[in-house]
Amino acid sequence: MARIALVTGGMGGLGEAICARMAALGFDVATTHSPSNTRSQEWLADMERRGHRIHAYPCDVADYDSAQACIAQITADLGPVDVLVNNAGITRDTTFKKMDKSAWDAVIRTNLDSVFNMTKPLCDGMTERGWGRIINISSVNGQKGAFGQTNYSAAKAGMHGFTKALALEVARRGVTVNTISPGYIGTKMVMAIPQEVLDTKIIPQIPMARLGKPEEVAGLVAYLASDEAAFLTGANIAINGGQHMF
Ligand code: NDP
């Protein structure tokens, strides 16, 4: 029977590539989308045309009750989730001087609380069954900090601590927990940065002199989700074109 993978935020740039790769590998793939997302049917049809049958569920990952209800529905429809990819995320960039509480809360809730909300209802089942993969999509800016991103850098750095602590707790039960820290990947989140800033400030920081591709991150997710990666846990894997070596 196919293993079941749940990818949060699958209709975004990285999430879509991850869903496509996992489906191509034979996983039964579920994804979440924001309750306000109006293009989910269109997206599902497009994925189907590309040969990927994905199951989509509305869920506010920042909200504990919404996450519990969503996972209960996925489990009822498809069965227990074997691979969880915590990918949904947002930015609300501004300097700390200008940052208000709502920008702080939104980013911490969506990027970090969501990891608790989604992992909590799935982790015990994985340890009981003796196999599971939890993959958290963090960021290079959680490793090194970024100007205008105290909220985002704090949330993403929080994922690293979560990963290492949970990895210790479940290591003997066949469950691995890892973080991937992408650098700048050419998705909408990054393409929203003005081209001039990309050309003069961001690309010059990247030794490979280009943005990463979503498929390159998806390939790493696929490896971490595989049986081959059974001995790899508690790691934070950077994929950033050499921008930050740590
Ligand atoms: P996108 O903005 O393209 O996608 C983010 C996804 O998160 C969207 O699909 C959105 O869902 C979902 N989402 C946001 N808030 C919520 C919420 N409250 N509940 C449910 N879903 C939500 O971003 P990327 O694909 O670029 O980024 C994916 C992840 O990778 C993020 O965690 C990001 O921080 C991280 N990252 C990205 C980098 C990059 O260069 N692109 C670099 C480093 C890290 P919907 O579409 O349904 O609204």
Residue-wise pLDDT for 90-119, tens only, equals: 999 999 999 999 999 999 999 999 999 999
Q: Whose CA is nearest to atom 43 of ligand 1?
A: 139
Q: Whose CA is nearest to atom 13 of ligand 1?
A: 88
Residue 203 lies in a domain: yes
Residue 245 lies in a domain: no
Residue 209 lies in a domain: yes
Which CATH number belongs to the domain containing residue 172 in this structure?
Answer: 3.40.50.720
CA atoms within 13 A of residue 201's CA, in its CB half-sphere: 9
Residue 73 lies in a domain: yes
| pLDDT of the residue at 246 | 78
Residue 190 has pLDDT above 90, yes or no: no
| pLDDT of the residue at 1 | 85
Residue 8 has pLDDT above 90, yes or no: yes
Q: Whose CA is nearest to atom 6 of ligand 1?
A: 9
The whole domain housing 18 covers: 4-239
Q: Is 184 a catalytic residue?
A: no
User: Ligand 1 mean position to 117 CA, how many Å?
Assistant: 16
Average pLDDT over residues 169-191: 95
Report the number of distinct structural domains present in the chain: 1
* Helix-helix angle 13-24:214-224, to 10 degrees: 50
Residue 154 lies in a domain: yes
Residue 75 lies in a domain: yes
Residue 189 has pLDDT above 90, yes or no: no
Pocket residues: Cβ below 6 A from ligand 1: 9, 11-15, 32-34, 37, 59-62, 87-90, 110, 137, 139, 182, 184-185, 187-190
Average pLDDT over residues 167-190: 96
User: Ligand 1 mean position to 188 CA, how many Å?
Assistant: 9
Residue 57 lies in a domain: yes
Token digits for 198? 């990309």
Residue 140 lies in a domain: yes
Residue 34 has pLDDT above 90, yes or no: yes
pTM of model > 0.90: yes
